[in-house]
Amino acid sequence: MKVLVSDSLAEEGINKLKEQFTVDVITGLSEDELVEKIKDYDALVVRSGTNVTEKVINAADNLKIIGRAGVGVDNIDVDAATNKGIIVVNTPEGNMISAAEHTISMMMAMCRNIPQAHASLKSRKWERKKFMGVEVNGKYLGVIGLGRIGSYVAQRGQALHMKVLGYDPYVSQEQADEMGVELTSVEDICKRADFITVHTPLTKGTENLINADKFALMKDGVRVLNCARGGIINEDALAEALRSGKVAGAAIDVFVEEPPFESPLLDFDNVITTPHLGASTEEAQVNVAEAAADEVISALTGGPVNNAINIPTVKPEMMPALTPYLKLAETMGKFAGQLMTGNYKRVELEYSGDILDKDIKPVTVAALKGILENALGPGVNFVNANSLAKSRKIKVIESKSETTNKFPSTITLELTRGSDTKSITGTVSGNGKIGRIIQIDGYHFDIVPTENMLVVDHMNRPNVIGPCAIMLGKNDINISGMQVGQVGLGEKTIMVLNVDSEVPESILNEMKSIEGILDAKPVTL
């Protein structure tokens, strides 16, 4: 397997990758060069310097995983990767302390004009009056985005005796209380804060979050910081607010265009800047490089990944309990998808029992993968199963049932195509956590699925099962298991056969001609 590292990455991560794979480190590639190279690689590791565009992803025929050694994935077309079944992972914890410390460093440096005073003295000037600063003690710090980095910044602000205001639509009052942060709105932060710092991802919802209207609300002499992503604070609006004197200072680590050589912000004496250095510490770089390498190694050797952006992740400690259900759901999906092929409108998964304590999202994805694989082939995986279902307008419904039955947990899969439905229930039982199928279309069984099976619709009357079994025997196909859904004499039922080899089409046709056999479908897992 081959790994391409296209941004600078700490040796520790590269060495880990080299223990298992062929690794090429090639930085500074243009989009066209990357398009040309990417088809040879199984994994790509980037930081913020590589734009992994749709064009690159479309050319990436062998790529299985993109590892982002850092947090922001706005340089990766995650939708394109998802559609192509490529896992995107980041390493969200490796650089959070460094990014928070950089933000605080920038705030203090801005308050005391350290970069400007340093440059002045280095040019042999002694300008003590020019560089009058301000204290942060007792001032209001507004933190927009109270995730990993924002919450560390809030904590460090409090250590500097600042009063912290915060806004984050996904943070509860309890969480804010625990952080000692006064939760309020962006507008209120704009009106009251002396310092405003943003720590959100760059999304459609956060782009230009701080715009001219927000600057208009701010106190005269406010100071703003952006160590998250260029574009969360609108650069033109900030330039205008600096020009008008509304904003007394800005500290900016990230820019809409990087490098930002055309940015008006570089021309203001009261704007201090760094070239996207938030994560640039020895500690953070070792952390993110090793974490990205671990994820790539795990994904390429068939293991689970911890921080996938585009698949429902399972916490490693939950994996042993969930694995039998993931296998069962995928098997049920494959089973149902082969019994009823075609243009599905709806997939419903109903969960009951102990499984309700677990995260069922990945189990639903496993079922979808099984269903869609029959129709779309091996290109379907845990990454793209959901998006493929969505693009085919298949409605996916997940429901939880409180009804208890004799099984500790059950999963019922109902597949709908036009007015037809196919329903299968499965359970996991025994110490070996074996997946079993216990119901098909209302008929009860206890089937341990095997590689080759036959599902035969027939009439429950004498001289139907016998000829069927004899015919398989004559063709040297061994039956290792057989179960029949119990019904009254003369009624329609289903028999499920575990067979030791695939049943050719010609034999299936012969079987269908036996009096009382209504249909015979092979199921291959």
Ligand X SMILES: O=C(O)C(=O)COP(=O)(O)O
Ligand Y SMILES: NC(=O)C1=CN([C@@H]2O[C@H](COP(=O)(O)OP(=O)(O)OC[C@H]3O[C@@H](n4cnc5c(N)ncnc54)[C@H](O)[C@@H]3O)[C@@H](O)[C@H]2O)C=CC1
Question: Which residues bind to ligand X, rule: CB under 6 A?
Answer: 47-49, 70-72, 95, 276, 278-280
**Is 444 an annotated catalytic residue?**
no
Clarify whether 276 is annotated catalytic: yes
Q: Which stretch binds ligand Y (CB under 6 A): 51-59, 223-231, 331-339, 403-411?
A: 223-231
Q: What is the CA radius of gyration of the chain?
A: 30
Binding mask of the shown chain, residues 54 to 73, with x at each position contacting ligand Y by CB under 6 A: ----------------xxx-
Using the contact rule CB under 6 A, the part of the chain among 92-100, 133-141, 390-398, 505-513 near ligand Y is 92-100
Task: Determine which one of 102, 156, 276, 436 is catalytic.
Answer: 276
> Tokens 């677990």 correspond to what residue?
358
**148 interacts with, out of ligand Y, ligand X, none, CB within 5 to 8 A per kind:** ligand Y
Contact window for ligand Y (CB under 6 A) among 56-64, 273-281, 286-294, 401-409: 273-281
Paired tokens of 18: 């080299």
Interacting partner of 144 out of ligand X, ligand Y, none (Cβ under 5 to 8 A depending on kind): ligand Y
Q: Residues binding ligand Y: what is the number (CB under 6 A)?
A: 32
Q: Which residues contact 45 (CB under 8 A, 6 or more apart)?
A: 3, 4, 5, 6, 7, 9, 13, 17, 66, 67, 68, 69, 292, 293, 296
Helix 319-339 and helix 361-376, axial crossing angle in degrees, nearest 10: 30
- Residue 469 backbone phi and psi in degrees, to 5: -65, -40
The answer to whether the CB of 435 falls within 8 A of the CB of 426 is yes
User: Which is nearest to 289 in space by CA: 476, 1, 91?
Assistant: 91
Residue 49 engages ligand Y in binding (rule: CB under 6 A): no
The item of ligand X, ligand Y, none sharing an interface with residue 214, based on CB under 5 to 8 Å by kind, is none
Q: How far is the CB of 161 from ligand X (least distance, A)?
A: 29
Give the three-state DSSP class for 9: coil
- Active-site residue (options: 207, 258, 283, 510): 258
Q: Which does 47 bind (CB under 5 to 8 A by kind): ligand X, ligand Y, none?
A: ligand X
Question: Which of ligand Y, ligand X, none binds 181 (CB below 5-8 Å, type-dependent)?
Answer: none
Decide: is 99 part of the binding site for ligand Y (CB under 6 A).
yes
- Residue 169 touches which of ligand Y, ligand X, none (Cβ within 5-8 Å per kind): ligand Y
Question: Could you tell me which stretch among 139-147, 238-246, 348-356, 381-389 binds ligand Y (CB under 6 A)?
Answer: 139-147
Q: Please, which residues bridge with residue 183 across strands?
A: 166
96 lies in the binding site for ligand Y (CB under 6 A): yes
147 contributes a contact to ligand Y by CB under 6 A = yes
In the shown chain, the binding pattern of residues 183 to 202 toward ligand Y, with x for contact by CB under 6 A and - for none, equals: ----------------xxxx
Residue closer to ligand Y, measured from CB, 147 or 516: 147
Q: How far apart are CA 398 and CA 426, in angstroms?
A: 15
- Specify whether the CB–CB gap between 490 and 460 falls below 8 A: yes
Exactly one of 229, 295, 348, 458 is catalytic; which is it? 229
3-state secondary structure 171-230: CCHHHHHHHCCEECCHHHHHHHCCEEEECCCCCCCCCCCECHHHHHHCCCCEEEEECCCC
Nearer to ligand X, 67 or 426 (CB): 67
Does residue 229 carry a catalytic annotation? yes
Nearer to ligand Y, 198 or 385 (CB): 198
438 sits in which H/E element: strand 434-440
The region of 4-12, 272-280, 403-411, 479-487 touching ligand Y under the rule CB under 6 A is 272-280
Q: Compute how many other C-beta atoms are within 10 angstroms of the C-beta atom of residue 307.
A: 17
CB-wise, 254 or 371, nearer to ligand Y? 254
Residue nearest to ligand X (CB): 70
List the 43-46 sheet strands across, edge first. 22-25, 2-5, 43-46, 65-68, 87-90
User: Under the criterion CB under 6 A, does residue 276 sit at the interface with ligand Y?
Assistant: yes
CA 69, CA 293: separation in Å to the nearest integer? 8
Cα–Cα distance measured from residue 71 to residue 69, given in angstroms and rounded to the nearest whole number = 7
Residue positions annotated with a catalytic role: 229, 258, 276
| Chain residues that interact with ligand Y, rule: CB under 6 A | 70-72, 92, 95-96, 99, 144-150, 167-170, 199-202, 205-206, 227-229, 253-254, 276, 278-279
